[in-house]
Structure 1
């Protein structure tokens, strides 16, 4: 693996990569490398144990929670969202199901529409970020967005869908969503450095996220909710991400049949040259499974092949920093 490490180091130096790269096979770490600064003002370097935001990588954890509630009989894939939401969010149609929300085929309007254009440095939240702390708080931004298309007719990536899933999960599961993730994902997987945190109460070892603003070390603290929910906002380490993959495919989070259902392709997404299951991206061919996140001051990709037990993860505390390294690893590693 020395050649892989050398290639990673070369790309990291050339692009000014700030983050951590990990390659594991069968639970054995073959490459781990940290580059750049976790805190530019203090001059603190990133380390292999640094925590980073994973943005939409959180969606895979949300899907595990929801499928766990399905396994427990508290929800079903064909449960209508309206059955749990009651009078909240009336623009979500009566025929929208839990499965469609998981698969991004619900057609509901999106509070954080990634197809709307704009720049990663834009301030896109319609309320002050400190007002978005608990999942119920997101009701104030989820409402008022008309449906884009009839549910089940096509794929359209939807952040709102995963916050709605978090609402459904905590109402069906009888506990706050953040607690459900801790209890049903992080605890069983041994992800001791992973969780949701308030951006104004950062835990030890968390990398500050930086925006691509020339001549400034501007952070992302005003661009993201003070605490994330079902669509994003968790922080983790590369070791914990690998622990998640091992636990998921070892049956410690869900039975094998449920996991197979999650990673079965539901949609072809030609524009991304990928497919989508329930909470996970999938390549056009082959058994690999992908978690990915992109947001202000966050870029993250982790790829796992359950057939070969090969996992590689790239995470950065800049908006685009992970992509050059991830592209090169994708070229070098057959998953």
Structure 2
């Protein structure tokens, strides 16, 4: 027996013993455990990467499950000692380190980040406060979106936090005036990591190593040097007809890049629930689970999101980087936490973990707080009545078109789907009839589509009424440049209201939805004047491109 085999066998034995002990004290029924196992392993077929998941209630571990392979190279399985990258779920610990500095009197929530990094956003008059970075209300653009704009695949690079700072120092504008909106941006938490270094005089990894030691989370660390990450690691795998992994060479941290074990995350939930005492002040831990400034935003606090799940208040976060994904759900009123870590592209932990919550909290209860189908059939609309592009306020779009007599719905980043008529003004997806579309006219006489599905509340998009008289479509064509990133944008017309866009190595097909708005890929472009285009992405807004020819 090899050393690796002996290690796996030993760990497996210890895990079996600990699980038998857990079963002896478990308050869940055998039936419930069987159902939880089925949910946990639904996307873990034989000889596949997998999952680690647990439930903590009233400070006690009531469920723990491991399944699948950690690494095909040595045939190691996922066990309690396996470390996962939990990505953005690491933000809560960056925020915890900030809280320790605040408690020590070394930092204030109202401080402007430029007190510490004066080269940032020198032309912005409004303060950019620490609390705004914590709550994603700073307006600072997301570096990952900026890299994408520049044609860079970030995970193929070995950038560190200093590279992020250099890129942000080149930005002269923000997405919005600080404190006026909420928009998630990873840049905020990378800057917070740099701030921790600046104030402490130590590396962010060293400061947080001390923090995790105080918490007793000895297998958890922000990894700022990919060459020194300690195993055993659950390697991330996608499935493109076969399981495929990739080399992790990323060094940016603070926004994520936190490697940890399920057992360490279980311990953290027990600490939060008051079961375990540590040398981190209790008031700091309690503060970390609260909103920072409800007047600023009720959506986000110290690295955590706040909301309601089926009318039950909860605190949660999702993490995803490649095939590594993680979910944590906390129901403070129930003293209940659910954690899921995965290394498989097939798994959707955000869904699975909520299925577990459904089983524990909502079985046999009527919890639907939204319609999953239209309440009534409305006035008849023909297929040709509904074709065109529909938008939300944030430029999410549906495009309905007819090809060879078949009605299609097209969405950015998704496969085109075939629609069938269900009733006079209601259609549904041919292969998934639960996804329904209801067409009605709004008070302005614009056609509106409302989408229904079993897993989300209905949402609506509107087809703008547009006057194209006298409009010259060639006004959009040309080459434009953004000075903050150095990116050139080329736009050429290909057909009526259709364009081809080129940015570095990125090519997009675009469609004009109004004379001044063009949608292309994940971007929305606004024609401010004949020589100026404003570009919006998911987490970058109002990037100014000026015509150069």
TM-score (norm 2): 0.53
Aligned with residue 39 of structure 2, among 11, 28, 31: 11
- Secondary structure (helix, strand or coil) at the match of 2:158 reads helix
Alignment partners' CA distance in 2, 1:265 and 1:86: 25
Alignment partners' CA distance in 2, 1:317 and 1:108: 30
- Secondary structure (helix, strand or coil) at the match of 2:256 reads coil
Structure 2, unmatched stretches of 5+, are: 1-27, 363-549
> Residues 223-270 of structure 1: CA distance to partner in whole angstroms, max 9, x if unpaired?
xx52341100011112211222333454743442773375227579x9
Q: Which residue of 2 aligns with 1:140?
A: 166
| CA RMSD between the two structures | 3.1
Tell me if 1:292 matches 2:292. no
**Bigger radius of gyration among the two:** 2
The answer as to whether partners of 2:44 and 2:51 remain within 8 angstroms in 1 is no
Q: 1:208 to 1:162 in 2, by over 3 A?
A: same
Q: Which residue of 1 aligns with 2:96?
A: 64
The answer as to whether partners of 2:96 and 2:302 remain within 8 angstroms in 1 is no
> Aligned ranges for residues 62-211 of structure 1 at < 5 Å?
62-88=94-120, 90=122, 95-113=127-145, 124-125=153-154, 129-132=157-160, 135-145=161-171, 146-184=173-211, 186-197=212-223, 198-211=225-238
Q: Which residue of 1 aligns with 2:255?
A: 231
Following superposition, the deviation at residue 97 of structure 1 comes to 0.4
From the two aligned structures, give the one with the greater strand fraction. Answer: 2
Following superposition, the deviation at residue 101 of structure 1 comes to 0.2
Q: Which residue of 1 aligns with 2:329?
A: 303
Q: Which residue of 2 aligns with 1:48?
A: 80
- Secondary structure (helix, strand or coil) at the match of 1:312 reads strand
Structure 1, unmatched stretches of 5+, are: none
Q: Which residue of 2 aligns with 1:241?
A: 265
Q: Which residue of 2 aligns with 1:314?
A: 340
From the two aligned structures, give the one with the greater helix fraction. Answer: 1
Q: 1:187 to 1:89 in 2, by over 3 A?
A: farther
The answer as to whether partners of 1:23 and 1:31 remain within 8 angstroms in 2 is yes
Alignment partners' CA distance in 1, 2:128 and 2:102: 16
- Secondary structure (helix, strand or coil) at the match of 1:327 reads helix
Structure with the bigger RCO (C-alpha within 8 Å, sep 6+) is 1
Following superposition, the deviation at residue 7 of structure 1 comes to 2.0
Alignment partners' CA distance in 2, 1:242 and 1:96: 35
- Secondary structure (helix, strand or coil) at the match of 1:299 reads strand
Alignment partners' CA distance in 2, 1:291 and 1:101: 17
- Secondary structure (helix, strand or coil) at the match of 1:276 reads coil
Q: State the number of aligned residues.
A: 320
Following superposition, the deviation at residue 136 of structure 1 comes to 2.9
- Secondary structure (helix, strand or coil) at the match of 1:203 reads coil
Following superposition, the deviation at residue 27 of structure 1 comes to 3.5
Alignment partners' CA distance in 1, 2:196 and 2:40: 39
